[in-house]
Amino acid sequence: MSPQNLVVIGASLAGLRAAEAARKAGFSGTITMVGAEHHLPYDRPPLSKAYLDGVEPKAPYFRTEEKLRDDLGVELLLGASATGLDTANKQVLLGESRLDYDALVIATGATARRLPGVAGLAGVHTLRTLDDAMAVRGALDAGARTVVVGCGFIGSEVASGARKRGLEVTVVEAQPTPLARAVGDEMGRVCAKLHHRHGTDLRCGVGVERIEGEGRVERVVLSDGTAIDADLVVVGIGAEPNTEWLAGSGLALDDGVVCDEYLCAGDGIYAAGDVARWHNPLFDRAMRLEHWTSAAEQAAVAARNAVHPAEAKPYRTVPYFWSDWYDSRIQFVGIPAAEEVRIVEGDPARDRRVVALYREGDRLVGALTINGQNVIMKFRGLIMKGASWADAVAFAEQRRAVAASA
């Protein structure tokens, strides 16, 4: 019998898209969505971008409560956490109570990693939730001297937001080059230049020794002994998938919920979004992404497969993310694990626009652009089609020639 009772754990982007896709696929059974936060599903990318700007921010909620309940027919349990999973009886544990499912979508996302030993110190924040963003925004409004720990995408966006307001910002990065894992060493260095150009004090290869202050942060002491005065510290050192509640459930967990190419993790159980590690057939490897686009798409595929298992389809994608720093947009498609990175357009020392390609064997596997909105998706298309490195380089050359003659 086809499933009649869909339970979605996690009420954010992936959770919402799962519920919407199930309905769109004609599912008429019950949908229950459980979310640990008290908020209705909301969008995270703006939290480190528009939300930190000087102007009054727009509430980032995706849908109204009426829309979710009445139009989508979702029973919402907000402020409730799943605490366990009993696969034998097909039940999700919510503390003392149990929720039956016959199809389950796990969309519990990820939690920002914290620095040890700073609990209870006011002015030290991570940036993952709307509540975090309100706190960071409030501190920026008050003109905080800002220290960002970790030169990843979110930390860099916070630094941009603070600089746009004219505030003093220091970014502390433990690795010798920022973003090495996300885009490789060479392009990590190129991105780092954006910070230098906009007056952010970026210090690489140095760790945070401790954060000092009486009840509230006063300064950050680095491993080289320097002390930086600060009113606001934003910690952006990555995120961990929310899988603790699944410990002992029998599901395979390995930096995420392990799924096959159908996003299936067990009998009637699917996962999507930041929490899912699935086999991406396009690159023939397992990956866990923390990107908006794949979270939305995986959720739709997972939900359709969950409610119509007989017609299950695999999820294949060329990973894509963007990040806005100062007045530049960084976009990346594909995977950064490459044997060669070649800058095919722009001189990073001089130009605002840079295009770089990533090679594995004789295949194009990735592309990064800074202010290259008009080509990035063409490279995504090429990667999707399995284009050769030679063809990709030729295409880039042709685009560059056209642009130069314009």
Phi–psi pair at 329, nearest 5 degrees = -110, 120
CB of 50 to ligand FAD, least distance (A): 11
Phi/psi of residue 27, nearest 5 degrees: -70, 125
Residue 371 Cβ vs other proteins, minimum distance, rounded to whole Å:
7
Residue 322 found at the interface with other proteins (CB under 8 A): yes
List the one residue out of 271, 50, 79 whose CA is nearest residue 140.
Answer: 50
10 binds, among other proteins, ligand FAD, none (CB under 5 to 8 A by kind): ligand FAD
Please tell me the distance from the alpha carbon of residue 72 to that of residue 23, in angstroms, as a whole number: 7
For the CB of residue 43, give the shortest distance to other proteins in the complex, in Å.
Answer: 8
Q: 198, 329, 342, 400: which one contacts other proteins (CB under 8 A)?
A: 329
**From the list ligand FAD, other proteins, none, partner contacted by residue 300 (C-beta under 5 to 8 A by kind):** other proteins
Which residues ranging from 371 to 400 are in contact with other proteins (CB under 8 A)?
371, 373-374, 376-378, 380-381, 384
Residue 14 touches which of ligand FAD, other proteins, none (CB < 5 to 8 A by kind)? ligand FAD
Q: Which of residues 270-299 bind other proteins (CB under 8 A)?
A: 292-293, 296-297
Residue 259 partner contact from ligand FAD, other proteins, none using kind-dependent CB cut-offs of 5 to 8 Å = none
Tell me the C-alpha distance between 291 and 55, whole Å: 26
- Rounded least distance, CB 298 to other proteins, Å: 12
Binding partner of residue 329 among other proteins, ligand FAD, none, CB cut-off 5 to 8 Å per kind: other proteins
Q: Which residues lie near ligand FAD (CB under 6 A)?
A: 9-15, 34-37, 44-45, 47-48, 81-82, 107-110, 127-128, 154, 242, 245, 273-274, 290-293, 295, 321-323
Q: Are the C-beta atoms of residues 270 and 105 closer than 8 Å to each other?
A: yes
Torsion of CA 289, 325, 381, 182, to 10 degrees: -40
Beta carbons of 307 and 103 less than 8 angstroms apart: yes
Of 100, 108, 106, 107, the closest CA to residue 3 belongs to 100
Question: Minimum distance between the CB of residue 342 and other proteins, rounded to whole angstroms?
Answer: 21
- The 8-class DSSP code of residue 384 comes to H
CA distance 64 to 354: 40
Residue type, 28: S
DSSP state of 212: E
φ, ψ for residue 175 (rounded to 5)? -80, 155
Whole-number minimum distance, CB 349 to ligand FAD, in Å?
26
Residue with tokens 């963007």: 322
Enumerate binding residues for other proteins (CB under 8 A): 43, 45, 292-293, 296-297, 300, 318, 320, 322, 329, 331, 333, 371, 373-374, 376-378, 380-381, 384, 403, 406
